[in-house]
């Protein structure tokens, strides 16, 4: 049995604005750092609430180092509340579900978190200002949140970790001063992840960025972290080891409730956390995005270019599931020439993309390991294009029409199209915020 993974007590240098996070995996030792912007509140940094958030962040960042060997035991040097322990177990179980599935590891129900027990009641954090910290990912979703917050007159600031490419371009178009954090992974972890004998794979990046955002919110006095995760993020990809595995687990409604709970506990209910777009389908969000043109040539949802070039290359590769899906859901709600101007090509008129669209629409294979919408949602959007003169002759649309109808039937596809535009009541948006946003999402 391999040695346990150890999460050391983190430290924060308030003068430098740098957090240090240490980990051990047998004889291997790692240190990660977070560098925060200048101008933070010294009282907030010295608060018990910040110390508790720092500990929870150490737990969450640790997944990147744990996965090298993925032992079943995790030793934590600092105390955790019952809720914090459940959060840690969830991060290292469901949060790493895709990693386990793709590496054929059966870890569900076997992970053990060993930590001292924290039974103290958290004192309230220093008073926080009535404004939102909004993570910007460079894609359409967070930019729709920008549109809604601005229309509702809700104060906010853009936030990002290691911003590049479309994140910077989008923030420039937003025109508000952002808060950026620099995350530096231990280079030895990166090196080992490429060597034989060590595992590599997907980690819950939204959970990681959310915890970093929570620290930033406390340091700069924002009383809520507002995400832009849609309802389809809760749909899983496959069943592995007796459990549904979801590439987007840390964007799911279930995880949203869990992380909101630990953030509230750690800060004495001072810090809120919710997704502004949870009531909406990807198709609905696409329709909201299409209302404005200011982000057309700066946004990107292409993960392939990000992985290969850090977004230093073109905004869209045109070859990955994210490109294919984003093109598909924008096509029914956006002028064709405008859409082709964004992507520089017609992805639905390339016969070579047929297999990709079969997977997205549930006609073949499994849902891709990417942040894409629900299978039936994609099928309904493609079906909608078969009814449009400007799209129905496109190679993929024409080829898949009969198979779509045979698998789903006209009535079901028409109903799905209708349902995609209806707001879902399952969300964690505070009623006061929901009331201000609702008129602008019609």
Task: Write down the pLDDT at residue 241.
Answer: 86
pLDDT at 310: 46
Secondary structure class of 156 (helix, strand, coil): strand
- Interior CA angle at 118 toward 116 and 122, to 5°? 155
Enter the pTM of the model.
0.94
Please give the DSSP secondary-structure letter assigned to residue 9.
P
Query: CA-CA distances (angstroms) from residue 300 to 26, 100, 174, 289, 405?
Result: 40, 29, 15, 13, 31
- Once rounded to an integer, what is the mean pLDDT over residues 349-370? 88
- SS3 (DSSP) at 7: strand
User: Which residues have CB under 8 Å from 377's CB, separation 6+?
Assistant: 232, 281, 282, 283, 329, 416, 420
Q: What is the mean pLDDT of residues 165-194?
A: 96
**Would you give the DSSP letter of residue 371?**
S
Average pLDDT over residues 123-134: 92
- Residues 430/274, Cβ–Cβ less than 8 Å: yes
At residue 2 the predicted structure's pLDDT band, cuts being 50, 70 and 90, is confident
What CATH architecture applies to the domain 5-275?
Answer: 3-Layer(aba) Sandwich (3.40)
User: pLDDT tens-digit profile of 384-435?
Assistant: 999 999 999 999 999 999 999 999 999 999 999 999 999 999 999 999 999 9
Q: What is the mean pLDDT of residues 283-299?
A: 96
Domain extents in the chain: 5-275, 282-419
* 308 pLDDT above the threshold of 50: no
Q: Report the mean per-residue pLDDT for the chain.
A: 93
pLDDT at 309 over 50: no
Position 209 scores a pLDDT of 98
- Smallest CA-to-CA distance from 201 within 310, 111, 68, 26 is with 68
At 30-57, the pLDDT tens digits run: 999 999 999 999 999 999 999 999 999 9
| Rounded average pLDDT over 150-172 | 96
> What are phi and psi for residue 142, nearest 5 degrees?
-65, -25
Q: How confident is the model at residue 378 (pLDDT cuts 50, 70, 90)?
A: very high
What is the reported pLDDT for 236? 76
Q: Are 40 and 17 in contact (CB under 8 A)?
A: yes
> Residue 171: helix, strand or coil by DSSP?
helix
């Amino acid at each position: 049995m391999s040695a346990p993974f150890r999460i050391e007590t983190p430290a924060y240098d308030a003068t430098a604005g740098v957090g240090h996070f240490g980990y051990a995996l047998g004889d291997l030792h790692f240190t990660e750092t977070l560098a925060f912007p200048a101008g933070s509140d010294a009282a907030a940094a010295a608060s018990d609430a910040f110390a508790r958030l720092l500990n929870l962040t150490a737990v969450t960042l640790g997944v990147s180092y744990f996965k090298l060997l993925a032992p079943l035991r995790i030793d934590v040097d600092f105390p955790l509340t019952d809720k914090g322990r459940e959060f840690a177990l969830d991060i290292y179980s469901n949060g790493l579900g895709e990693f386990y599935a793709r590496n054929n590891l059966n870890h569900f129900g076997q992970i053990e978190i060993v930590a001292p027990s924290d039974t103290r009641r958290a004192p309230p954090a220093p008073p926080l200002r009535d404004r939102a910290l909004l993570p910007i990912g460079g894609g359409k979703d967070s930019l729709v949140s920008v549109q809604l917050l601005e229309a509702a007159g809700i104060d906010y600031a853009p936030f990002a970790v290691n911003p590049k490419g479309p994140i910077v371009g989008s923030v420039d178009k937003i025109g508000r001063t952002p808060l950026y954090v620099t995350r530096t992974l231990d280079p030895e972890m990166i090196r080992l992840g490429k060597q034989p004998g060590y595992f590599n794979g997907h980690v819950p990046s939204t959970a990681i960025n959310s915890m970093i955002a929570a620290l930033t919110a406390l340091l700069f006095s924002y009383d809520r972290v507002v995400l832009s995760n849609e309802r389809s993020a809760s749909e899983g990809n496959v069943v592995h080891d007796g459990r549904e595995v979801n590439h987007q687990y840390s964007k799911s409604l279930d995880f949203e409730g869990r992380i909101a709970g630990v953030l509230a506990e750690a800060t004495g209910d001072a810090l809120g956390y919710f997704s502004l777009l949870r009531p909406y389908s990807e198709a609905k969000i696409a329709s909201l995005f299409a209302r404005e043109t200011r982000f057309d040539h700066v946004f990107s949802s292409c993960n392939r270019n990000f992985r290969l070039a850090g977004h230093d290359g073109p905004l869209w590769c045109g070859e990955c599931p994210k490109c294919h899906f984003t093109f598909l859901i924008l096509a029914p709600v956006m002028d064709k020439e405008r859409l082709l101007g964004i992507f520089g090509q017609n992805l639905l008129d390339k016969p070579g993309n047929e297999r990709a669209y079969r997977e997205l629409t549930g006609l073949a294979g499994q849902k891709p390991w990417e942040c894409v919408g629900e299978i039936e949602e994609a099928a309904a959007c493609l079906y909608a294009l078969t009814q449009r003169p400007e799209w129905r002759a496109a190679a993929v649309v024409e080829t898949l029409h009969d198979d779509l109808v045979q698998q789903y039937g006209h009535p079901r596809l028409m109903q799905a199209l209708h349902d995609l535009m209806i707001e879902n009541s399952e969300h964690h948006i505070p009623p006061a915020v929901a009331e201000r946003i609702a008129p602008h999402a019609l």
